[in-house]
Structure 1
Amino acid sequence: MTVNKIISTITENLIKYPNIKFEIANDDELNIFKENNDGFDICIQTADRENTMYFDKFHWHYDNNEEETNEMLDQLIFALAGISRIKEISRNGKAFKWTLQIQDKENIWHDNGTMGIMNFNFFSKAEIKYYQNNLLPKEKLFEDTYEEQ
């Protein structure tokens, strides 16, 4: 799938779900909005060399090739359907660590990647919050998923 087709292919599928609110910022950026404060916004940015997908503060880079583009689209579907979530760790109300977790078929959550910023407040109690979207029914997951058109 070409860079120019990624955003248009995603939006063609999102239109099928009127509960999913999104905005095409420009030819290279798509924003998908959380339904409530328990979810997270998603931003996809495409470029010639790589694509980047943001789940609020967590983000992942994907090379601009077919394999990694398909991986990015799978992660997008997981994020919309609640199969993935963000675990946020904060101290004294300041978030500093985000972990992407993926749920397996036995409903067990597995860490898939972590990013963070320095936090020197070691002695404060850590607070954990989970953010998860439920914008797509898990059992329906885009039936004609992002095939090259």
Structure 2
Amino acid sequence: MNETNIIDFVVDKIVKYPNIKFNKKSNSELKIFCHDKNGFNIYLQTNHRESTLYFGAFHWHFDFTEYETNEMLNQLLFGLTGIARLKEFSKNGKAYKWKLEVQDKDGNWLDNGTMGTIKLNFWTKANIKYFQNNLIPKDILYLDNEEKIIQ
């Protein structure tokens, strides 16, 4: 799979879920909208070098190798099902750090990555909010047949 058909591949899968609202801006940009203020928008952008997947402000860069493309599609699926959530840290109403957490089969939340900006007022207590989507049922991840959204 390359940059010219990743977006079409994802659209072909999510169109089966009429509750998912999305905007395919071009063959290189796809935005999937969260349902409410407790979720996060997902944005997928491709170019000739790589794909970039955003969960709100959190993002990854993926090369077009088979391994990295599969990793990106898995992360996308985690973001759609609620297996992944964002933990956002803010001070004085301004977000400055985001942790991606992934839920294991036992229901435990495990850190999967952190990104942020420099926040120098370290003496101020941080406020924490969680953002999580439930656009596709989690059960889809445990199916062993052709019903999976992304393979």
**TM-score band (shorter)?**
over 0.9
Q: Which AA in structure 2 matches 1:47?
A: N
Alignment of 1:64-83 (within 5 A): 64-83=64-83
User: TM-score scaled to structure 2, two decimals?
Assistant: 0.93
The 8 Å contact of residues 52 and 62 in structure 1, kept in 2 or not, is answered as yes
Q: State the distance in 1 between where 2:51 and 2:65 align.
A: 9
8 Å Cα contact 2:74/2:150 also seen in 1: no
Conservation of the 8 A alpha-carbon contact between 1:48 and 1:64: no
Q: 1:54: Cα distance to partner? A: 0.6
Q: Which runs of 4+ in 1 moved over 6 A?
A: none
Q: Quick one: which of 113, 137, 143 aligns to 2:147?
A: 143
RMSD over equivalenced CA pairs, Å: 1.2
Structure 2 contact 140–149 (Cα < 8 Å) conserved: no
Structure 2: gaps of 5 or more residues:
none
Q: Pairwise mapping of residues 49-64 of structure 1 onto structure 2 (< 5 A)?
A: 49-64=49-64
Greater Cα offset, 118-127 or 138-147: 138-147
Q: Return the letter of the residue paired with 1:143.
A: E
Matches of 1:111 and 1:140 in 2, distance apart? 22
1:42 counterpart letter in structure 2:
I
TM-score w.r.t. the length of structure 1 is 0.94
Q: Answer yes or no: is the 8 Å Cα contact 1:50–1:62 preserved in 2.
A: yes
Q: CA deviation at 1:123?
A: 1.1
